[in-house]
Amino acid sequence: MEFVVIDEVSLEGAEKTESFQSKILVPKGLRTSLAISTSVGDVYTMVSCGSFEQPWTMQEVVEIAKTQVNRIVSARGASGL
């Protein structure tokens, strides 16, 4: 498996965010994935999207990560954390 840090991505509400690309050869072929890991306080999350035929764009993965961060921020605010 090849795992490469691509770039830091800025997500509003997140403290630390990094993006990665991974490639793994499996019986069906080469699978490429894009991932974003991030933290919001003491909550850590990772979005990983991969495909054989139609690769995800980093912008698509960023949009999913933004939704996740917004939900964490909302939940933390609602619970007083």
- Per-residue model confidence as pLDDT tens digits over 56-81: 999 999 999 999 999 999 998 866 55
Residue with the larger pLDDT of the pair 67 and 2: 67
Residue spans per domain, the chain: 2-79
Q: Where are the alpha helices (DSSP H) in the chain?
A: 58-79
pLDDT tens digits, one per residue of 4-34:
888 778 899 999 899 999 988 888 888 889 9
Any residues with CB less than 8 A from the CB of 78 and at least 6 apart, and which? none
DSSP states along 45-66? EEEEEEESSSPPPHHHHHHHHH
The model's pTM is: 0.82
pLDDT value for 4: 87
pLDDT value for 81: 55
